Structure 1
Amino acid sequence: MTALRRWLILVTLGIFFFMVIVDGSIVAIAIPTIAGSLSVPTGSANLIIAIYLVVISALLLPFGQIGDRWDRNQLFIIGTILFVVGSWLSGLGFHLSVVLLGRLIQAIGAGITMANSYALVTDTFEPQQLGRAFGIESIFISLGALAGPGIGGIILTHLSWHYLFWINIPIGIICILIELLVFPRKKVHASFKNYDWIGTLLLIIEATIFYIIGAQILTNFILSLILLVAFLFVGALFIQYEKRATEPLLKVSIFSNHTRRNYLLAAFYTFIVSYFFTLLAPLYLQIGLKFSSAFTGELLMVAPLIALVANPLAGFLVDQLNRTSIMKWGLLFLILSQVGLIISNGNHEPTIFILVSILLSIGTALFGTANNTLIMQSAELQERGLVGSLNSLAREFGMILGTTIASFTYYTSISMQTNKSIQSVLGQTLNVIIHGQRVVYIIGLLLFLLAGVAIYKSKEMIKNDAIKTKRSRRSSI
């Protein structure tokens, strides 16, 4: 495969990844507008977000397994087509049911592509180029995660909400054409005789329960606790079933690689925390500091702009230097950014916010690129789809869990501060807003420290394995 073809594949994967991730957050800003246009309550309109996140989370592992059985390249093309069709249908928007059907199709397409993206990059690039490849792809992931609300605001300012979905169509068609021209083809006869349908059903139930917990936790805490018990029960049932399944969705033995398991765990912790900033930063800037929407948008674009430089540089460093060391430095930058958010008191703004955004962006680039490379290089060819889908699942589940933790902690701490039930920060003072976000960011710091513990444990395991190997060699001599 020529170098040009490799990089065309990577850029196409990245552009599509960007669209998929943006579509997870871009709709949030338009819920009141969509609800008014369709004459439905905002609670019903929130299903447009829910169905997308739940279906993707439920289908990542199934499509990761299918990718290992079949041709990942062809599967990715099918996913792209479904995503474009779903975008067109969602944008028609003459009835909520039509929008939800479109979002369902969108989510299936997104699940197919996200489950196989990491594996496709690993298939396409040599090990010595993998860091740079993941660094480039991380640009699109970072931009998608951070720029969704900003892009949504720009579209709503100049166009109707329908274009939140229709903007995907021309970009998606270009991606499809490139995929048809440059993606390699393999003749693979996949068998679905022993496909794990029960495991897939249990995952769908898990994803649905978890979303309902997030939606109800502020208004019905008792129900959320009951559902949490159900979530843990179904999760335990899923693990036990997967241990006995003929061809399981999740090979539990994949976690016997302690280093990979701990690196996935560290990634999961960081994904949770990343959405704390995404959720709370606009509230701090607009409601707390009284900055205009336009200026807030400009400040929120600092991190994505830094990511444009930081991610490729991180990829180059990962290919040249010790990857574990790069990951540790990235985590250190993330910890420093969290400390900055905790001690921020509204003074010296927007300077402090900009500095924190820079630290956060550099840390994410260094940690994420090194972590992705280490995880995917640990996977054998026949398990790349599973490992890649687990990596994507860590991000998606982290996003949902991070949003739930941040919302619950933020509004609960504000309610305790004001001695009354608060579910909106409109009209609250800067001090109250800072108190609420500080509690959330302290939790974020603790999660980053847990990520550090996971990495340290991996180092100790590698060291112990090396010592055992030396001893066994000596005893055999």
Structure 2
Amino acid sequence: MTVTHRWLALSTLGLFFFMVIVDGSIITIAVPAMAAGLHVPTSQINLVIAIYLVGISGLLLTFGQLGDQLGRIRLFKWGTLLFTIGSALASLGISLPLVLGGRLVQAIGASMTMANSYAIVTDIFPMAFLGRALGVESIFISLGALAGPGLGGLILAYLSWHAIFWINIPLGLFCLIVAWRVFPASSAPAQTPTIDWPGTLWLITAAASFYVFTSTLLTQPVITLLSLGLFTVALVQFSQAERRAVKPLLDFAIFRHPLFSRSLLASFMSFIAAYFFTLLAPIYLQVVLHTSSQLTGLILMIAPAIALVANPIAGWLTDRYPQVRVMQWGMVLLVLAEIGLVLSNGQHEPWVLGSLSILISIGTAVFSTPSNTLIMSSVPAEQRGMAGATNSLTREFGMVLGTTLATTTYYGSLSVLAGRAALTVTGQVPQHLLHAQSVAYLAATILLVIGLWLIRSRKVMTA
């Protein structure tokens, strides 16, 4: 590939990653409009969110395995096509079953692309430029994680909810055309692909039960316990199935690489901690500080705006300096920012929160770019699909677990202070909200300190 084709391919991978991540959260703001349009209760619209997230999480490792066997670029092309078709089906909006069917097709396509995106970047870029390449891709991922609700609100202000899916069609076709014309041709598979069906089924069960567990944690204790039990059983069965499989979805030998295993676990801690800020910052701004919606939106856009600059710089640092050392710098910045959030008391705002947002964005970029680079470069080429899929799966579970832990610690602390069950911030004492926020951010700080310890280990430093 020429240099121009490499960067065009990277931009295409990033754009599609952006769409896939946005579609995981953009529905949240359209729930009332979709319920009215489809003539169903809002609770049923939650299935539109669940089927997408569970489908992606449950199939990532399967398509990572197939990417290693059939060719990652081939899987990316087919995944792009399926995601576009699923978007078209969902956009018709004739009935809830049709929308759910479209979302399932979307999830299958999204999983195929996400599972192989990191590996494709690693395949097409020389190792000397890999940090910069993954830094650029991280821009799209960061923007996608933050842009969903805002983009959805903008669309609903002028168009019907169907347009949430319409916009994927031209973008998906564009990505597909570039993939066919620019990406290297996939070679014919050397053998008939082998799918680990038992592992796939147990992973889907684990993803579904984990989603139910996190969704009912504060409201339905019986269902929460049952789903937690099923999740535990599914994980045990998945582990046993993988040890018996001829070609497992997840070869546990991959975790013998200290750079891979510890970088992945540290990333998991950072993913969890990141969603504490995502959940609590809007509450702090609007309920405690009484900031207008417009100003809140502007303050929350600071982080993605800084990410546009921070991620490429982090990529340059990754290619120039020892990657473990750069990861440590990033994690230290994240720990310092989290301590600042713990100490936030409503004074000197919004300057304090804005400054901490900048620190979080820089820290995330400086940590995640070398982390992704180490994860992808520390395994053999034939395991890159598995490594990339595992990395994406870690982010998906981190997102859900982070939201759950943030919600549990925040509202749990609020309930203790209020002397009764508190599942809403409405009518709560501002000082109680600040205290509950500090407790939640303290939990996130502990997670980040664990992550820092993992990458400061002598095993990582000397690997």
When normalised by structure 1's length, the TM-score is: 0.94
Tell me, yes or no, if structure 1 residue 205 matches structure 2 residue 205.
yes
> Which is worse superposed, 100-109 or 189-198?
189-198
Paired residues for 1:172-321 under 5 Å: 172-189=172-189, 191-192=191-192, 194-321=194-321
Paired residues for 1:66-145 under 5 Å: 66-145=66-145
* C-alpha displacement of 1:223: 3.0
* C-alpha displacement of 1:190: 5.8
Mapped contact 1:82–1:109 kept (Cα < 8 A): yes
Mapped contact 2:70–2:193 kept (Cα < 8 A): no
**Change in CA separation of 1:13 and 1:335 when aligned onto 2, cut-off 3 Å:** same
For 1:205-241, what per-residue CA distance to the aligned partner results, in whole angstroms no more than 9, with x for missing partners?
0001100101111112243133223212221121112
Mapped contact 1:71–1:185 kept (Cα < 8 A): no
* C-alpha displacement of 1:279: 1.6
Equivalent residue for 2:27?
27
Equivalent residue for 1:475?
none
One-letter amino acid of the counterpart of residue 275, structure 1: Y
Once residues 361 and 41 of structure 1 are traced to their aligned partners in structure 2, the CA distance between those partners, rounded to angstroms, is 38
For 1:326-368, what per-residue CA distance to the aligned partner results, in whole angstroms no more than 9, with x for missing partners?
1001001111111111111112111011101100100010000
Once residues 446 and 31 of structure 1 are traced to their aligned partners in structure 2, the CA distance between those partners, rounded to angstroms, is 35
> Which is worse superposed, 113-122 or 318-327?
318-327
**Change in CA separation of 1:113 and 1:190 when aligned onto 2, cut-off 3 Å:** farther
Once residues 193 and 20 of structure 2 are traced to their aligned partners in structure 1, the CA distance between those partners, rounded to angstroms, is 31
Equivalent residue for 1:352?
352
When normalised by structure 2's length, the TM-score is: 0.97
Equivalent residue for 1:474?
none
Equivalent residue for 1:58?
58
Equivalent residue of 2:367, what SS?
Answer: helix
Equivalent residue for 2:151?
151
Equivalent residue for 1:16?
16
Equivalent residue for 2:366?
366
For 1:383-435, what per-residue CA distance to the aligned partner results, in whole angstroms no more than 9, with x for missing partners?
00000101111101111111111122222222222122222223334323222
> Which is worse superposed, 124-133 or 269-278?
269-278
Once residues 460 and 116 of structure 1 are traced to their aligned partners in structure 2, the CA distance between those partners, rounded to angstroms, is 28
For 1:107-145, what per-residue CA distance to the aligned partner results, in whole angstroms no more than 9, with x for missing partners?
111100000000000001000000000010010011111
Equivalent residue of 1:27, what SS?
Answer: helix
Once residues 136 and 366 of structure 1 are traced to their aligned partners in structure 2, the CA distance between those partners, rounded to angstroms, is 12
* C-alpha displacement of 1:149: 1.7
One-letter amino acid of the counterpart of residue 387, structure 2: V
Equivalent residue for 1:418?
418
One-letter amino acid of the counterpart of residue 29, structure 1: I
For 1:156-190, what per-residue CA distance to the aligned partner results, in whole angstroms no more than 9, with x for missing partners?
22222221221211211111111111011123226
Identity percentage of aligned residues:
52
Equivalent residue for 1:37?
37
Once residues 258 and 150 of structure 1 are traced to their aligned partners in structure 2, the CA distance between those partners, rounded to angstroms, is 39
Equivalent residue of 2:81, what SS?
Answer: helix
For 1:13-63, what per-residue CA distance to the aligned partner results, in whole angstroms no more than 9, with x for missing partners?
001101111111111122222223323222211111111111100011000
Once residues 344 and 377 of structure 2 are traced to their aligned partners in structure 1, the CA distance between those partners, rounded to angstroms, is 39
Instruction: Give unmatched runs, 5+ long, in structure 1.
Output: 466-477
One-letter amino acid of the counterpart of residue 137, structure 1: E
One-letter amino acid of the counterpart of residue 223, structure 2: L
* C-alpha displacement of 1:461: 5.5
**Change in CA separation of 1:374 and 1:159 when aligned onto 2, cut-off 3 Å:** same
> Which is worse superposed, 118-127 or 146-155?
146-155
Equivalent residue of 2:456, what SS?
Answer: helix
